[in-house]
Amino acid sequence: MANESVPETVARLRAHFATGRTKPVPWRLEQLRGLDRMLREAGDELAGALRLDLGKAAPESFLAEIDFVAAEVRSLRKHLRSWLRPKRVYTPPHLQPARAYVLREPLGVVTVIGPFNYPVQLLLAPLAGALACGNAVVVKPSEAAGATAALLERLIGKYLDPEAVAVVQGGPSATSALLAERVDHIFFTGSARVGRIVAKAAAEHLTPVTLELGGKSPAIVEPGADLATAARRIAWGKFMNAGQTCIAPDYVLAVGGVGPELERHLAEAIREMYGHAPAESPDLGRIIDEHAFDRLARFLGEGRLVCGGGHNREDRYIAPTVLADVSPEDAVMGEEVFGPILPILAVETLDEAIAHVNAGEKPLALYAFTDSETTRRKLLTRTASGAVGFNVPMAHIDVPGLPFGGVGHSGLGAYHGKASIETFSHAKSVLDKPLAPDTMRVIYPPFTALKEQVMRRLR
């Protein structure tokens, strides 16, 4: 509501949730239908806002944001009733006759804090899951993507129940005010630094959190792989959205001398996708702001420049760049790149690549380009990551049945599809036993030898 403070917003949502109006499945399905209509009817508007904020090409906006969320909404609508159906579980003999089952119930008021890099997908996909579970929701779009944030506020008010869904706008002070409120779940997507702040604030109220963070997701390339195809797929995943993707390949581990040929194929792939003058390509996005640009620009002098390197601060443009002969001690290897700069680190063996990955924090994703089943088994059993992609980066996020989330430093919890139901609802355990006959008399005191014998056998 206009001119409403954050505490007033949360209190209003909590009061509305208490009426029970968000709990019936028909209400939940109506909200999902509203989201679906929003994406269909306002898709072009959303693509235009994304172009203003991030320089995204419309086809990329539909692929990775608008149509992506629409597919998630369709999946929730299709499976919601079956996913919410009470699940019967085994009841031990000594408690019979009885019925034991697990019931999914809404949490209450959920806070969703979205990032700037995919401001439609990463705000609306968790919103869809929270609404599917019957919650009231307050969403906080990123102020860095201002055009998209303003449009989303207008569209959410138009297509969704305004008594159950609220939008809070603003910068860090608005986020801090929101985190100070006691809610029933906080869903945050962003950096590990801010994730710690969110977790600390949530701990004050013992509020559960989902943290979708990031990290340095490696792409391991082995000898014997189709290097031309591997290079195209790595370039696609790395340079989409100007590299501002949490699951983009952050760097390459080139195993056993594949580096020089891979470098050549990467340069060719970049030219195929963005032309000889990437600054003029309508398909290459821009860095979100000058602060992010300045952070990335300091990496450009490291290693050996294979291709790219061009940049323009005023236009927030950095060319798709590949750096070879990079050292683990270089600054570009010391933090998540989150931009269109791809460092290549040469290693002699797969074991050396695994050791490098395991020496750092657990990544959000790990990618490997290989034809070897032995390599697959080694990576699956000897590394830890939020997800693994063999011969393709990022695409696992588009598989509805796969939970999306990190592990350790790269995140806490998961969502998408059925995983969203598990995240945004409580699994309530229920045991229903009739009062007659009172079969439990055998375990009441006073205990006799016969009772003890019966009780021991019941187990």
- Catalytic residues, which ones? 212, 246
Nearest to 458 by CA among 445, 446, 440, 438: 440
**CA-closest candidate to residue 274, choices 101, 55, 27, 32:** 55
How does DSSP assign 10-58, residue by residue? Answer: HHHHHHHHHTTTT-SHHHHHHHHHHHHHHHHHSHHHHHHHHHHHH---H
How far apart are the C-alpha atoms of 76 and 421, rounded to whole Å? 9
C-beta of residue 398 within 8 angstroms of C-beta of residue 62:
no
Query: Nearest-CA neighbor of 145 among 54, 239, 19?
Result: 54
Residue corresponding to tokens 């006799």: 448
**H or E element in which residue 209 lies:** strand 209-212
Q: What is the DSSP letter of 363?
A: P
- Check: CB of residue 133 under 8 Å from CB of residue 112: no
Q: Which two tokens stand for residue 375?
A: 């390599």
Q: Locate 233 and state its tokens.
A: 């797929």
- Which residues are CB-neighbours of 413 under 8 A, at least 6 positions away? 209, 210, 211, 212, 405, 423
Residue type, 324: A
Half-sphere exposure (Cβ direction) of 146: Cα atoms closer than 13 Å: 3
With beta carbons less than 8 A apart as the criterion, state whether 190 and 224 touch: no
> CA 11 from chain center: how many Å?
28
Structure tokens at 184: 């029933």
Helices (H), 117-226: 121-132, 146-159, 172-180, 192-204
d(CA 35, CA 128): 8
Greatest distance between any 2 Cα atoms in the chain:
90
Residues 6+ apart with CB under 8 A from 285: 54, 55, 56, 57, 60, 240, 241, 242, 244
